[in-house]
């Protein structure tokens, strides 16, 4: 449940790791709001707002004043007349715009040297902020400046987790090829994600709900009760994916996602979406120097789109193949020899799974590479069989098996583990990447009803456990790995089902101290 008010902003993640949340709140290294930002916020919230007093307060900081005036007079705001004073800026742009600039400039300056790969982090944040403002204008949201600042600060929780978790967070972050898979990895490893951490920091700073709620809900705005704040959070959510288009090494999937999200969330046609992205690319380059962020040799959206077109064609082909596999029960690209085939699921059987896992685990140990194991369980399967029929249950199992099988690479193995459980052995894959695969599988399966028979399709969810062999780790044998993944699956079921959980050895009291 989301709670928001002048002094309370809490995350919507009901299963958030409260112990880690408290560590964040008590962390002595968390930055406070810069003094001038506090003063401006206090003045803005007074019943009788004194614009002259606000202008005098800002003007005391000559560097900040210079940045604000440069920004107001830049092409980003497209003013027809020059603005020469903060007082003039307050009259022309309005109080909210100037307040946003004060907060944005002071916070970026305060946080820029903190955390991992800070320039990469802020480069992506500039794209997200610019996309938030442009998209807000496109869909008729009045709070365009607030959208900009919420987009700029939405991922500040990544810095928070880095400060609090240190090397452990760096390992999760560094193992993922794109920001898109980060939330699933964070939730599975830490019991919370960076948007939760952003919400906590926004609460510490006492930011107003119009900023704090989108910051905390930008990866899951669907449950927000206030329609205005929900719309703003949806803008920041889509803008975050827009940023990936410009920073991902392989942007094709991000482009496809942005087009889909713009259509589904805001009813924007593909042409309008591409026009928006062109604007984001241009304006981000204009605004970044004002925040002293180098965008490097960033390509235009047209260039990115040309580079990604070939990959997007391949993605579309794969999507059609996967859809075909899920529509025809039993279709599988991850075939097993007839004697090693489970007839019902049309996957490798348990005997083949055991032999494959033993073989690949031995090879991983010798080559010092990772190996991951997923265990997928169809939620409430027995109840569905009781309600409908065994035939419908068999169809659902085959449909899920086909989706899992289509995910497997040639070097992997999808197998029926037991009952309604399907195992996926991922060769040479680390834990963070496996968590991303697991979350993608879960989303794919719940995205639409699956065929249980020729005449019956049903919505279904899955719980997924993840366990990982890594060189020098505690899980050394097939028995260790299967037990670990069963425990992770049990944790997913205990957490309410329809989620991914990863096995982690409990820390000893000495290590925890």
Residue whose structure tokens are 């107003």: 208
Query: What is the rounded distance in angstroms from the CA atom of residue 229 to the CA atom of residue 223?
Result: 11
Query: What is the rounded distance in angstroms from the CA atom of residue 459 to the CA atom of residue 421?
Result: 17
Which residues on adjacent β-strands are paired with residue 466? 374, 502
DSSP E strands: which ranges in 217-344? 341-342
Q: Say which residue, 95 or 438, is predicted with more confidence.
A: 438
User: Within its chain, how far is the Cα of 335 from the centroid?
Assistant: 33
Query: What is the rounded distance in angstroms from the CA atom of residue 299 to the CA atom of residue 278?
Result: 11
Of 458, 441, 440, the C-alpha closest to 449 is 458
C-alpha separations of 304 from 124, 308, 312, 405 in Å: 15, 6, 12, 32
pLDDT at 79: 66
pLDDT at 509: 45
Burial class (CB in 10 A: 0-12, 13-18, 19+), 213: buried
Overall average pLDDT of the 184-190 stretch:
79
pLDDT at 324: 46
Are 244 and 308 a contacting pair, CB within 8 Å? Answer: no
Q: Which two tokens stand for residue 134?
A: 């442009």
Residue whose structure tokens are 């087009």: 259
Q: Say which residue, 271 or 455, is predicted with more confidence.
A: 271
C-alpha separations of 513 from 335, 416, 507, 509, 510 in Å: 49, 42, 10, 6, 5
Contacts of 178 (CB under 8 A, 6+ apart): 244, 248, 250, 253, 254
Percent of the chain with pLDDT over 70: 87
Superfamily of domain 338-512: Reverse transcriptase/Diguanylate cyclase domain (3.30.70.270)
Of 306, 300, 249, the C-alpha closest to 277 is 300
Task: Using the predicted structure, report yes or no on whether residue 329 has a pLDDT greater than 50.
Answer: no
Residues in the chain: 513
C-alpha separations of 310 from 2, 25, 301, 340 in Å: 42, 47, 15, 38
Task: Using the predicted structure, report yes or no on whether residue 500 has a pLDDT greater than 80.
Answer: yes
Of 98, 80, 102, 87, the C-alpha closest to 36 is 102
Contacts of 469 (CB under 8 A, 6+ apart): 361, 364, 365, 370, 371, 372, 373, 475, 476, 481
Are 153 and 31 a contacting pair, CB within 8 Å? Answer: no
SS3 212: helix
Diameter over CA atoms, the chain: 84
CATH class for the domain made up of 115-317: mainly alpha
SS3 121: helix
Query: What is the rounded distance in angstroms from the CA atom of residue 507 to the CA atom of residue 502?
Result: 15
In this structure, how many other beta carbons lie within 10 angstroms of the beta carbon of residue 48? 4
- Please indicate, yes or no, whether the overall pTM of this predicted structure exceeds 0.75: no
Query: What is the rounded distance in angstroms from the CA atom of residue 113 to the CA atom of residue 476?
Result: 40
> What confidence tens digit (pLDDT) does each residue in 384-421 have?
888 888 888 888 898 899 889 888 888 899 999 988 99
Phi and psi for 225 in degrees, rounded to 5? -80, -30
> What confidence tens digit (pLDDT) does each residue in 51-69 have?
888 888 888 888 888 888 8
> What confidence tens digit (pLDDT) does each residue in 425-469 have?
999 999 989 998 999 889 888 887 888 776 778 899 999 999 999
Domain boundaries, the chain: 32-111, 115-317, 338-512
Overall average pLDDT of the 174-193 stretch:
78
Are 376 and 399 a contacting pair, CB within 8 Å? Answer: no
pLDDT band at 333 (very low <50, low <70, confident <90, very high): very low
**To which H or E segment does residue 416 belong?**
strand 413-418
Q: Which two tokens stand for residue 86?
A: 């903060």
> What confidence tens digit (pLDDT) does each residue in 334-379 have?
445 555 778 788 888 888 999 999 999 999 999 999 999 999 999 9
Q: Do domains 115-317 and 338-512 have the same CATH topology?
A: no
Are 141 and 235 a contacting pair, CB within 8 Å? Answer: yes
Of 218, 91, 48, the C-alpha closest to 149 is 218
- The answer to whether the Cα torsion of 436, 115, 112, 198 is positive or negative is positive
In this structure, how many other beta carbons lie within 10 angstroms of the beta carbon of residue 51? 14
pLDDT band at 423 (very low <50, low <70, confident <90, very high): very high
pLDDT at 116: 59
Q: How far apart are the first and last CA of the chain?
A: 33
Residue whose structure tokens are 């101290």: 513
Residue whose structure tokens are 């440069």: 70
Decide the pairing of beta strands 413-418 and 421-427.
antiparallel
pLDDT band at 310 (very low <50, low <70, confident <90, very high): low
């Amino acid at each position: 449940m989301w709670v928001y008010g002048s002094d309370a902003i809490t995350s919507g993640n009901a299963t958030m790791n409260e112990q880690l949340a408290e560590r964040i709140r008590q962390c002595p290294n968390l930055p406070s709001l810069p003094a001038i930002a506090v003063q401006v916020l206090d003045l803005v919230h007074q019943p009788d707002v004194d614009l002259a007093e606000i202008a005098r307060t800002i003007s005391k900081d000559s560097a900040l004043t210079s940045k604000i005036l440069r920004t107001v007079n830049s092409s980003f705001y497209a003013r027809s007349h020059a603005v020469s004073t903060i007082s003039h800026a307050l009259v022309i742009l309005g109080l909210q715009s100037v307040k946003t600039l004060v907060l944005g400039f002071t916070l970026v300056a305060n946080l820029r040297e903190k955390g991992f790969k800070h320039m990469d982090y802020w480069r992506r944040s500039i794209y997200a902020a610019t996309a938030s403002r442009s998209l807000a204008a496109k869909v008729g949201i009045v709070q365009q400046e607030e959208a900009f600042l919420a987009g700029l600060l939405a991922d500040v929780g990544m810095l928070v987790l880095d400060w609090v978790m240190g090397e452990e967070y760096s390992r999760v972050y560094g193992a993922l090829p794109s920001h898109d898979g980060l939330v699933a990895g964070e939730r599975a490893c830490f019991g919370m994600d960076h948007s939760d951490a952003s919400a906590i920091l926004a609460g510490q700073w006492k930011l107003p709900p119009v900023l704090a709620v989108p910051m905390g809900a930008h990866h899951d705005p669907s449950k927000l009760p206030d329609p205005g704040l929900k719309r703003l959070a949806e803008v920041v959510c889509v803008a975050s994916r827009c940023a990936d288009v410009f920073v991902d090494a392989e942007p094709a999937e991000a482009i496809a996602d942005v087009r889909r999200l713009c259509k589904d969330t805001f009813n924007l046609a593909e042409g309008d979406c591409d026009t928006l992205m062109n604007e984001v690319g241009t304006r981000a380059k204009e605004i970044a120097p004002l925040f002293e962020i180098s965008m490097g040799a960033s390509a235009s959206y047209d260039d990115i789109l040309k580079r990604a077109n070939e990959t997007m064609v391949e993605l579309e082909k794969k999507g059609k193949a996967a859809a075909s596999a899920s529509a025809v029960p039993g279709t599988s690209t991850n075939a097993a020899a007839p004697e090693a085939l489970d007839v019902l699921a049309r996957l490798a059987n348990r005997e083949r799974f055991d032999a494959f896992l033993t073989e690949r685990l031995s090879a991983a140990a010798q080559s010092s590479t990772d190996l991951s194991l997923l265990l997928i369980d169809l939620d409430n399967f027995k109840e569905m069989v009781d309600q409908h029929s065994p035939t419908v249950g068999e169809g659902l199992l085959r449909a899920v098996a086909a989706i899992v099988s289509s995910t497997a690479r040639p070097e992997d193995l999808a197998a029926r583990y037991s009952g309604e459980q399907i195992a996926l052995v991922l060769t040479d894959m680390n834990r963070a990447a496996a968590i991303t695969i697991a979350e993608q599988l879960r989303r794919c399966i719940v995205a639409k009803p699956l065929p249980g028979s020729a005449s019956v399709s049903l919505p279904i969810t899955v719980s997924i456990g993840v366990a990982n062999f890594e060189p020098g780790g505690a899980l050394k044998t097939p028995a260790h790995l299967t037990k670990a993944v069963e425990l992770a699956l049990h944790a997913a079921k205990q957490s309410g089902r329809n989620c991914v959980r990863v096995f982690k050895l409990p820390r000893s009291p000495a290590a925890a101290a």
